[in-house]
Structure 1
Amino acid sequence: MSCNSKLVPKARNWQRKEKLKLTLILRVVQAHPNDVDAKNNCKECKKIVQEKAFLKAIAVDHQKSSVADSLDLDSMCIEGDYIGPKLEVVNGQETVTLPFVEQLLEHQKQEKRLHRKYAYKILVEIKRMFSEQPTLVDITIPEGKSFTVCGDIHGQYYDLLNIFKLNGLPSIDNPYLFNGDFVDRGSFSVEVILALFSFKLLYPDHFFMARGNHESETMNQMYGFYGEVKSKYTPQMGDLFTEVFNLLPLAHCINNKVLVMHGGLFKDDTTTLDDLRKIDRNRQPPDEGMMCELLWSDPMEAPGRSSSKRGVGIQFGSDITDSFLKKNNLDFIIRSHEVKDKGYEVTHNGKCITVFSAPNYCDQMGNKGAFVQLKVVDGKLQRDFVSYDAVPHPQVRPMAYANSLFGMM
């Protein structure tokens, strides 16, 4: 038995004990919310659980093989009673087409499921596509043309459909960027991600997706996406989603003047766009460094930097934004990651835009959603904001598929 393999049962035993301990401490915290000792114990116990989960992960990591490579899609049959969307054969290959995507949107709206074979095919193909893209993607908006940036969707499929109703379906003439956190929290995350991946396959050069902090294995297991995939499809597909999420680009640069990322800026004043291009993103997000900060950081009113209330990433002031923009010859940044009453917020003297596209977040926040429209006029990027209210959705509560242990937190 190898040294690494000996770690596996040890890690599992630690996890069982610490999760049981965490459950008991959480009950104490709920019963006595002002008990400082209980809160501190809870925080320390959660840290131990995460550390041991990491130990388990690195112990078996060398044994993992790609789900995409192990699939035998040809052996998956389409049952005779399946009446949902079907990939069309183009040049001998099953391909995502506009009629397929339009049928998929309506099919899922009726709470019907895409056949697992087609879902797997979409994931395998989108993994290949993302693997060929850089960590920082450059986007060019021509003179007189418009471009739409959306923020967090968080599994709110019916609000995603409303964006397309208000702003038109993605197309070559109507390009979009979705800026992370497509899944978790909302209980229609599978529908959201399959729709977005289909548009990416249909319009690879006019539809863009960036990784958010919720496109990670740990967050998906805690906040519902993994449970939803397991319920609607298979655990194996959940693992395949993890492989795909690892390959999502981390940021986009529009017309060499606007940087778009999910979270925010960095601890290091010397960070450049070239540094971002060099990030090896094919991994789970680390707890520190540029990749972590791109996914987790937030702006603040005060100048300078401070530790993040989230526990990872940083908070950064307007002076940090000014310095970064000047160093990289940029005009402003667009980020997401935070609920805003109007669905958007402009801070740091107009140089930091937050856009959040999930209205009435988790069916309880009462916020509007929004998207940003950029248009090139006389060589300059003009920006406009569209806010909207939540629309009705089927009676499935948010977090319906979340891990029961973490649902207590």
Structure 2
Amino acid sequence: MSILSREQRPWIYAMSVCFALITIFTFTAMALLEVVASTSLHGITIKWLQTIIDRLKWWSPGHCQKLFLEAELIELCYRAREQFWKSPIKCDVDAPVNICGDIHGQFEDLLAMFELTGWPPEKKYLFLGDYVDRGPFSIEVITLLFAIQVLHPDKIYLLRGNHESRPVNMQYGFYLECRKRYSEKLYDAFQLAFYCMPLCAVVSKKIICMHGGISEDLIDLSQLEKIDRPFDIPDIGVIADLTWADPDDKILGYGGSPRGAGRSFGPEAVKKFLAMHNLEMVVRAHQVVMDGYEFFADQKLVTIFSAPAYCGQFDNAGVVMKVEVPEVPKDTKSSGIDKNILQCSFTIFRPDRDPNGYAKAKK
């Protein structure tokens, strides 16, 4: 047996460390290649996306940091951005569809809603924005929705809310969550996706949906096609109104907003807007409503909110609004049925809490 000199020992140690690092890198690369080798979808893999979804289905607060590498989440943001860029600013969605309002980082409630109303792609969903901020698990919320959206783009539609904007989510929790759990690089990647999201959707050519509200400046829906992406949310104009505006029963037409962005609008403004665009109803989110939904303007507009026990400071319910074409009874003559009628119903989730203090949705 030969004995190494003092001069040789550091070199042997360095070689051992290098060999160990190469071995770790090789096995990591092999694992990634195994995922990439599965069926591809626009340069990304179905298996990888499904793995993200499956991990989040079995999520728990104590293991949330161990689920994903930062590079994996950044890649997902890039793929979601590509998907948003290809979709129109105004999405056309056919009924049946489940419509959801604000989630605000309440991931356990999002999981509970999917469990009770059905998971995509078996059920189709339209989300009206405000996925992040205020709640504790914004990263999980937006990661799950992005993964489903990239995997099933015709089964889930994600609109942009006022919190999907850097000036807002820099202040209300999302920035700090990203920086604390990962880094500012991940936060920036999410913004790239947010700034390309659609602004509104029309369900079966009858119901217009957005996060905020209607706009006096939106004379023709084709105006939206001229918006260049990526885009920021200004304080005034169509984009501001679609993400910030609120109904106000104290006015008839349009007025200023105490929020400092977007405008307020009254019941007459709603009816005039619907008549102008040959639509029948407005569905929007943006405000906490205690029963999960609240009608306005003779039921021509409904506000929905999907974060029960919001921020732990309210006793509000959450809701999922279902829009569907009613079934025609077999013994009814089809000639007497209007096939263009849509039926709306609400699944209400009452606030509940587990022993650890986390909010949970209860039907």
Please indicate, yes or no, whether the TM-score normalized by the shorter chain is above 0.5. Answer: yes
Displacement of 1:207: 0.5
Q: Which has the larger radius of gyration?
A: 2
Report matched runs for 1:17-56 at 5 Å: none
| 1:219 alignment counterpart | 168
Q: Aligned equivalents of 1:318 and 1:106: distance in 2?
A: 44
Q: Aligned equivalents of 1:78 and 1:130: distance in 2?
A: 34
Q: Residue 390 of structure 1 aligns to a residue in which SS?
A: strand
Report matched runs for 1:280-295 at 5 Å: 280-295=228-243
Determine if contact 2:56/2:140 at 8 Å carries over to the other structure.
no
Displacement of 1:206: 1.1
Displacement of 1:332: 0.4
Displacement of 1:110: 5.0
Residue 387 of structure 1: which of 341, 344, 348 is its match? 348
| 1:274 alignment counterpart | 222
Displacement of 1:335: 0.3
| 2:151 alignment counterpart | 202
Q: Aligned equivalents of 1:178 and 1:272: distance in 2?
A: 23
Displacement of 1:394: 8.7
| 1:301 alignment counterpart | 249
Listed as ranges, the gaps of 5+ residues in structure 1 are 1-75, 399-409
Displacement of 1:379: 2.5
Q: Residue 126 of structure 1 aligns to a residue in which SS?
A: helix
Q: Residue 137 of structure 1 aligns to a residue in which SS?
A: strand
Report matched runs for 1:293-372 at 5 Å: 293-302=241-250, 303-372=252-321
Q: Aligned equivalents of 1:373 and 1:233: distance in 2?
A: 36
Residue 126 of structure 2: which of 169, 174, 177 is its match? 177
| 2:89 alignment counterpart | 135
Aligned in 2, Cα 1:97/1:312: closer, same or farther, shift over 3 Å?
closer
Aligned in 2, Cα 1:343/1:290: closer, same or farther, shift over 3 Å?
same
RMSD between aligned alpha carbons? Answer: 2.4
Determine if contact 2:325/2:341 at 8 Å carries over to the other structure.
yes
Q: What is the number of equivalent residue pairs in this alignment? A: 313
Aligned in 2, Cα 1:98/1:169: closer, same or farther, shift over 3 Å?
same
Q: Aligned equivalents of 2:341 and 2:351: distance in 1?
A: 32
| 1:21 alignment counterpart | none
Q: Give the letter for the 2:81 counterpart.
A: K
Residue 75 of structure 2: which of 100, 113, 121 is its match? 121
Q: Residue 348 of structure 2 aligns to a residue in which SS?
A: strand
Residue 54 of structure 2: which of 102, 112, 128 is its match? 102
Determine if contact 2:77/2:192 at 8 Å carries over to the other structure.
no
| 2:10 alignment counterpart | none
1:91 aligns with 2:45: no
Q: Residue 342 of structure 2 aligns to a residue in which SS?
A: strand
Q: Aligned equivalents of 1:131 and 1:159: distance in 2?
A: 29
Determine if contact 2:309/2:352 at 8 Å carries over to the other structure.
no
Displacement of 1:198: 0.8
TM-score (norm 1): 0.72
Residue 194 of structure 2: which of 245, 262, 270 is its match? 245
Q: Aligned equivalents of 1:221 and 1:275: distance in 2?
A: 29
Is the deviation greater in 121-130 or in 93-102?
A: 93-102
| 1:162 alignment counterpart | 112
Q: Give the letter for the 2:45 counterpart.
A: E
Q: Residue 222 of structure 1 aligns to a residue in which SS?
A: coil
Q: Residue 177 of structure 1 aligns to a residue in which SS?
A: strand
Deviations 1:5-45 (A, max 9, x none): xxxxxxxxxxxxxxxxxxxxxxxxxxxxxxxxxxxxxxxxx
Q: Percent identity?
A: 34
Q: Give the letter for the 1:165 counterpart.
A: E
Aligned in 2, Cα 1:379/1:230: closer, same or farther, shift over 3 Å?
same
Q: Aligned equivalents of 1:286 and 1:165: distance in 2?
A: 37
Q: Aligned equivalents of 1:235 and 1:115: distance in 2?
A: 14
Aligned in 2, Cα 1:155/1:100: closer, same or farther, shift over 3 Å?
closer
Q: Aligned equivalents of 2:308 and 2:59: distance in 1?
A: 23
Listed as ranges, the gaps of 5+ residues in structure 2 are 1-23, 327-338
| 1:26 alignment counterpart | none
Determine if contact 1:184/1:224 at 8 Å carries over to the other structure.
yes
Is the deviation greater in 113-122 or in 299-308?
A: 113-122
Displacement of 1:267: 3.2
Determine if contact 2:130/2:162 at 8 Å carries over to the other structure.
yes
Aligned in 2, Cα 1:259/1:231: closer, same or farther, shift over 3 Å?
same
Determine if contact 1:257/1:332 at 8 Å carries over to the other structure.
yes
Displacement of 1:99: 4.9
Displacement of 1:256: 1.1
